[in-house]
Every structure is written in C-alpha cells, then in structure tokens.
Amino acid sequence: MTKRSMYHQFYGLILSFMFVVSMVLVPFNSLAAEESEEAFTLSIMHMNDTHAHVEPLPKMITAINEVRAEKPDSLLLHAGDVFSGTLYFNQFYGQADLALMNLMDIDAMVFGNHEFDIGDQEGGHQSLAAFVEGANFPFLGTNVDFSRDAYMRDLVTEETDPQAGRSHNLIVKEVDGEEIGIFGLTTEDTADIANPVNVTFADYLATAEDAVSEFEDMGVDKVVALTHLGYDSNPAVGNDLLLGQVDGIDVIVGGHSHTQLDDPVIVSTDAEGNEKDPTVIVQAYQYAEFLGTLDVEFDEEGVVIGHSGELLAVEDYEADPAGVEVLQPYKDEVEEIMNEESGAVALKDLLNPARASRVMIVSVPMKQSLVI
C-alpha cells in the first residue's frame, strides 16, 4: 500500500468517526434542548431589614420596576424588620414605609423581630395591626401565634390564597402556570430581644418540616421559606444555614443578620451530612441599600437544577416620581422635627484641643432620638 492510499484510508476513517459522533450528538442535544424547554425558572426580588430607612425607597421602586420590565412574573419578597431605626418610625410607626411599600406590588412579607418592639407600650400590637391592615400585600407568620393579641388575632387567616392585609400560615402563588408554596419564619429570639407581650413563636425546624409536608399534601413541589432567622445567627434559636438542611425547601430568602450575600449560597446536605436536593439561600444586607435578584431553575420534578443571583445597588437608580410624591409629606414632617428648637439647656462646655473651640453637650428630647 502506497503512502497516498494509506493517507486516504486514514482520512476516510476520520470522516466515518465524525459522522458516527454527529449521529450520537444530535439526538442528545435535541433531548437537552427539550429538557431545557420543560424546565421552569422562578425569578425573585428581595429585600430585608429596611428599618425605617424610607428615603431610598423611591429609588428601590425604580429598581423593582426595571426588573419587572424584563421579568414580569418576578415575585417580590420582604424578609422583615420594617419597624425601628429612624425618626420616620418614631413619628409614623411604619405608616411612612407602608405608603411606599404599597407602590411596590409586594407578594409577601415575613414579620421581623423589630415588628414587635413596641407591644409593651401599646398593651399589644396596635401599630403592627394598623401596618398589616393597611398593606396591599399579605404577611407570613407560620411560627407566630397571635391568638392572645387583641389587635392582631382577627387579621390571621388559614387561607392559602394570598390576601392583602392578612397574616397567613402558608400561601400558594401561581407563577407562569406553576404553583409556588411560600411560608415564613420569625426568630424565636424575638421573645428576648423585642416586646412581643402575648405573642409567642414556635420552633422553627418543626414548623418548617410541617409546612413542607403540607405543601407536599397539596401537590406543591416548589417551596420558598421567607425567613427572619439570620444567615448564620445563634444556632440555639436557628438560622438559614441550619434551615437549609431541611429536605423539601428549595429557596430561603432571609433577613435578621443583615448579611450581604453577593452570590447565592447552596446547602446540599442534611443534618446528618447526607446528600439532599439543593437549597438556595439569599439575603440583601440592610437599609434598602440593595434589591436582591434571584433566578432559580427547576426540573419537572421540582428539584433545583440551576441558579443565578446578584444584589443591585439602589443608589444607582433614579427616584420614582410617584414614590417621591408619596414620601414628601412624611419627609417634610421629619425635617421639621429635626429643626425644632429643643429647649435643652447646656450642661457644660468642653474645650476642643484640636480646634481651640468649645463644644456644647446638650440634652436632646426623646422624640428626636433614633430607635436602633
């Protein structure tokens, strides 16, 4: 056999091999494309621990609207702690925040521990009830027992169809033809770090397991936990990393620890270290500085097979005009309070050695202090 004929024979073998490979790959790629078409992607926007930082909210509204323009089926979730933090809370007890939040088309909010800060002052949760009742979105209190609170108990419903101005144990949202189960957990530590008065909080793990079981009984296989537990907070009272070990929870949208998770975190083992279906955890820092975004891809069995997420800096957006208009009367009143003559009397003068000037220490009226 000549070298030329050997070359042609070798070249023919290569072409034959490539043809066989192409015949194998084409059906595989077609199957992959088919599976991709069957997959479902859930998009979520989220925020947490906004703490009466009302002034960034018009920009937050713009960020939300821009995400929705691209992904109109996105859910919007708030992971708790609207109350306490600035003069806006001291003056309006959540109503300034609510006026702006009602422009956002929020899908659900979980109660944070600070929502229970002033229960002892009011003989129950009068301001919280006014906040809930005035909301055009539902709340989640899956492990919260309001039955002994005169103001909140009538706002609790067992319905799973989301109802504005009501506190639910579970809700089911339909997104692009798919049912999404959402439940909410508030840290049991609230009993010690806030003033819940007659409101009590059940064990977070037992509550979560019961919620997952209820969703399974309903045929809902995509489950989101909206939590105010903390990402890696005190394990004695629970946190999101521990909650992520519960099988059947696909996504945890968290708050309480003010954690800035620039990328989603995955938990794929249970409490015994055994492999489990993935759970995606996100949290968006604090004070309305970020709007969190998350895309989670599910297979036809409801198992997470892909995800991506990021935090959008709210300061990079223009303020929404409607939000600015709604904020203005609250802002004017707060600025008026800040500029009031306090009537305080100087206690003593201190010499500033760096500038050879005198610094006056004065007593400040309580209403001008910040609730932290």
Q: Which string of DSSP letters, residue by residue, matches 265-297?
A: EEEEE-TTS-EEEEEEEEEB-STT-EEEEEEEE
Q: What is the edge-to-edge ordering of all strands in the sheet holding 167-168?
A: 156-157, 167-168, 139-140, 108-110, 75-78, 40-47, 290-298, 304-313
Distance, CA of 240 to CA of 290 (rounded, Å): 19
> What are the sequence ranges of the domains in the chain?
1-38, 39-316
So what's the pLDDT on residue 341? 74
Report the first-to-last Cα separation within the chain, whole angstroms: 90
Distance, CA of 15 to CA of 27 (rounded, Å): 19
Residue 272: which region, alpha, beta or left (left: phi > 0; alpha: psi -120 to 50)?
Answer: alpha
- Please write the tens of the pLDDT for every residue from 188-216: 999 999 999 999 999 999 999 999 999 99
Partners of residue 75 on adjacent β-strands: 44
* Whether 47 contacts 254, CB under 8 Å: no
Structure tokens at 257: 């620890």
State how beta strands 357-362 and 346-352 pair.
Answer: antiparallel
* Whether 326 contacts 320, CB under 8 Å: no
- Please write the tens of the pLDDT for every residue from 276-324: 999 999 999 999 999 999 999 999 999 999 999 999 999 999 999 999 9
So what's the pLDDT on residue 340? 81
So what's the pLDDT on residue 37? 58
Output the CA–CA distances (angstroms, integers) from residue 137 to 2, 105, 164, 297, in the order listed: 82, 7, 4, 26
CATH of domain 39-316: 3.60.21.10
Distance, CA of 277 to CA of 2 (rounded, Å): 60
**Share in percent of the chain as helix, strand, coil (round to 5):** 35, 25, 40
So what's the pLDDT on residue 38? 78
Please report the sign of the dihedral spanned by the C-alpha atoms of residue 54, residue 59, residue 60, residue 61. Answer: positive
Comparing C-alpha atoms, which of 315, 307, 327, 308 is closest to residue 291?
A: 315
Distance, CA of 4 to CA of 74 (rounded, Å): 64
Residues 6+ away with beta carbon under 8 Å from 301:
221
Residue 217: which region, alpha, beta or left (left: phi > 0; alpha: psi -120 to 50)?
Answer: alpha
Output the CA–CA distances (angstroms, integers) from residue 110 to 46, 107, 192, in the order listed: 12, 11, 19
Rg over alpha carbons for the chain, rounded to the nearest Å, is 26
Locate the DSSP E strands across 40-169: 40-47, 75-78, 108-110, 139-140, 144-145, 156-157, 167-168
So what's the pLDDT on residue 132? 99
* Whether 115 contacts 51, CB under 8 Å: no
Distance, CA of 92 to CA of 17 (rounded, Å): 75
Q: How high is the mean pLDDT in each 10-residue block of the chain (372 residues)?
A: 40 40 33 55 98 98 98 98 98 98 99 98 98 99 98 98 98 98 99 98 98 98 98 97 98 98 98 98 98 98 98 98 98 94 65 44 36 36
